[in-house]
């Protein structure tokens, strides 16, 4: 196995629906004390970006859904947005035009997605390596059980297919948000929990491919991979733009515990570090952004929605998942693989599939 000395493919989401977030400089120092190499911003955050200058932490920069019509309106509007919001002091690996836009409930946004992406691509400085993409919910899949049957909803083809063509032509990744927690919330059997948490379980055989899955994360990835391959996009990489597990919930949210959150996120990090890949794509790591750096105390809904933070706003960890940087090191911009013997126990992790939207679970596997 290959163990990366620095895991730049492990990122974190920085949500801002809160009124108690630490100062940007404090957040930057926290990030620099970890092995996190990437931060996803849902909208431009100039103060935090300024604080990250020189850290080698890259940014996945988000365009809010509400800004998409403006970017789609004209190349000039996209150029103005790019000039105002794309930083020059911190590397920007990609820009996500919208978040779960095709399943946002606003049908007026879908036809504006591709023009916005095209205009923003044209607005990038000459020689830029920043990729332009968009983030999807799992609701774009009509089938994921078994993973080899992965397919996109046919009624999204008019909006999704041109976007997939754009990604292929420009070497940009397909970004998606799977949440195994919501799968377990709809099926609270012990075997389902073990499957979602990368814990020992008998495994599940995909009759279509003959591959065996032992964790939901791998099955989710491979269902997405199968959907892309079926439409001729085998060269388009996948990025997990959000995934996580809440450490606290309401009385009827039994799965939202510190132990489960530690198990999911910690085992996921170990799985990613092992670079074992998935049954369909062995040995291939995937950029994954954990949700989230802090709790967002102004979110509505159940208690779990406000309890995904890896860290408290006093900068202490809610639980340890092995993200501390080695002494004297900083979060890297690139992966430097180093061959190391890794215990076979790390390979015991493999499978975690959620479903439609962040709130539903289709009978996956």
**Residue 20's CB: how many other CB atoms inside 10 A?**
12
Contacts of 67 (CB under 8 A, 6+ apart): 81
**Catalytic pick from 43, 100, 191, 303?**
100
Half-sphere exposure of 84 (CA within 13 A, CB side): 10
Helices marked H in 19-63 = 24-32, 46-52
Consecutive H or E run containing 116 = helix 110-123
Catalytic residue check, 100: yes
Q: DSSP class of residue 216?
A: H
Residue with tokens 């126990």: 345
3-state secondary structure of 73: helix
**Catalytic pick from 43, 191, 242, 305?**
242
Catalytic residue check, 360: no
Catalytic residues: 100, 242
């Amino acid at each position: 196995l290959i163990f990366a000395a620095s895991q730049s493919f492990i990122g974190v989401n920085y949500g801002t629906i809160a009124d108690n977030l630490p100062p940007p400089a404090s957040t930057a120092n926290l990030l620099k004390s970890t092995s996190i190499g990437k931060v996803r911003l849902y909208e431009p955050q100039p103060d935090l970006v300024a604080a990250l200058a020189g850290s080698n932490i890259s940014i996945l920069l988000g365009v809010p859904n509400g800004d998409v019509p403006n970017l789609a309106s004209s190349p000039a509007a996209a150029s103005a947005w790019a000039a105002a919001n794309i930083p020059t002091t911190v590397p920007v690996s990609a820009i996500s035009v919208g978040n779960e836009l095709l399943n946002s409930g606003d049908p007026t946004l879908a036809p504006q997605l591709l023009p916005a992406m095209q205009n923003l691509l044209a607005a990038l400085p000459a020689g830029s390596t920043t990729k332009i993409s968009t983030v999807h919910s799992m609701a774009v899949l009509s089938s994921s059980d078994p993973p080899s049957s992965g397919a996109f909803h046919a009624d999204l083809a008019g909006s999704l297919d041109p976007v997939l063509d754009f990604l292929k032509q420009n070497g940009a990744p397909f970004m998606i948000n799977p949440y195994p927690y919501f799968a377990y919330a709809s099926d609270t059997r012990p075997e389902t929990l073990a499957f979602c948490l990368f814990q020992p379980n008998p495994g599940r055989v995909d009759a279509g491919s003959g591959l065996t899955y032992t964790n939901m994360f791998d099955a989710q990835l491979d269902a997405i991979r199968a959907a892309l391959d079926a439409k001729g996009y085998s060269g388009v990489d996948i990025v997990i733009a959000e995934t996580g597990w809440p450490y606290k919930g309401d009385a009827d949210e039994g799965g939202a515990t510190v132990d489960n959150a530690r198990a999911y996120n910690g085992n996921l990090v170990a799985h990613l570090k092992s670079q074992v890949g998935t049954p369909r794509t062995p040995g291939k790591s995937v950029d994954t952004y954990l949700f989230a750096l802090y709790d967002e105390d102004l979110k509505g809904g159940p208690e779990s929605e406000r309890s995904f933070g890896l860290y408290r706003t006093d900068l202490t960890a809610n639980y340890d998942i092995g993200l501390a940087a080695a002494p004297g090191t900083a979060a890297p911009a690139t992966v430097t693989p180093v061959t190391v013997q890794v215990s076979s126990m790390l390979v015991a992790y493999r499978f975690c599939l959620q479903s439609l939207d962040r709130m539903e679970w289709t009978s996956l596997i």
